Structure 1
Amino acid sequence: LPTPDGTLDPHTLHTALTDLRHPGSPGAPAVPVLVCATAGTTDTGAIDPLPDLADLTRAHGARLHVDAAYGGPLLFSATHRPLLDGLHRAHTVTLDLHKLGWQPVAAGLLAVPRAADLAPLTHRAAYLNADDDTEAGLPDLLGRSLRTTRRPDILKMAVTLQALGRTGLADLVDRTLAAARTFAGLIDDHPAFELHSHPTLSTVLFRPTGADDTTVATIRRRLLHQGRAVLGRAATPTGLWLKATLLNPHTTTDDLASLLKLVEGHTPR
């Protein structure tokens, strides 16, 4: 079970892994196989305690996979990279650069330590991998992408990395996360709003003070229907929250103050 902030609790995980080593029913696995951790949850942007989880998986003989789809680009930033301490100990990592990488929505990748680790995904089909065509110099498609003929978004990532480099992307990441902290401060200082928690990444959860779930959902729909603002929603143990996922590094404090004023103006009285 996750903690109240949505992260994995190492003590709970240790108990679960220990129980797997002592199965209570016939046929249950005797050795844990895989632990999936998250570096940037969808709802709040929280990051699991990766060093503790790496220690546990190693002690229990399990593999560690880290879903860093949201938080992975923090690696570009010298300022924020420490938030991902322990990521290098994962056996596999997923990255999705359509948020803090400013890429198309399909621009995701799976990082593995060795190309041979992808061998189980290898498939052959006569209509795609004709050996005689390959020998004649005609490339097949199946080996170019896990999704065969889908567009090669990896090229767009490569061009972005070449154009901006680590420093350029780090600047965009740092500015975006700074905007999230600024927005959280505006909410904290406003008597009409409550802040769920200070942001780890660029996601900020907030709502009118004391608002119930119906009110929060109504505000969001009103703003969407009127074309004034696009806010997400996140359900937590403390109820429903408006979710602002900031992704524009050029967002100003005035922009954020205007958004807060919009929400205040659309709050049912």
Structure 2
Amino acid sequence: MKEIEKLNPQILILPKISMTRMSRIKIAVMLALAKKIIAMGDIIVFISGLTELATLDTILLIDTGKESEILTSREMTNFSDTVNPEVFQQVLNIAIEFASSGREGKPIGTIFVLGDEDHVMQFSRQMVINPFKGYESEECNIMNPALRETIREFSAIDGAFVISHDGYILAAGRYLGAASEEDSIPRGLGSRHIASAGITSLTGAVAITISESTGDVRIFKNGKIFVEIEKASPSPKAIPVHH
């Protein structure tokens, strides 16, 4: 799949995970913005359908310049100046996978903070010994697929992952001291979301947050939620019929 993207950067490969149709559209918009395939203000036409039926049954017209169900905020200007688009795509894919599959049968809740790493480190501190300290940069590159299960294990640690703009994991278990006002985010969201809003309001970073309670993934920029990606509900199991 990566080879296809390299041959044609206009093609976006979405995670192979069960998602709602709207979540797929949101992810496509995010990746297209990150890679500058589209820009805020563009009007996009989405055509989708059910793979099982091999039919197209939905057409959706979206104006990316307006706040909507797709983009809850317009705070994503200069997005690709903050984070390498490939790094953003990799972290988003990891977050969606972790939200879907969890860890050892239990849900995962964590924060990935990307970009503007100097300021992020300035406004945060270690809650535990940093498990990534002392390793060569290449060994801590988020693009390395061998790291995925290591990241999954360390997601059990309280605190956030801090990732540089070019994809190196600088720390895990990081306490984000730049808390946002609780009334700046929707009611019902917890401390991870408040911390994500806070750190992105004081820095140029992007935060991707997994809700442990719901499995939803939220992306923060400039102290606001930019996109919410809902976890797909499990498909109902067939009820056996006895004759």
TM-score (norm 1): 0.23
| Greater percentage in strand | 2
- Where is the helix percentage greater, Structure 1 or Structure 2? 1
Which structure has more RCO (C-alpha within 8 Å, separation ≥ 6)?
Answer: 2
Max radius of gyration: which structure? 1
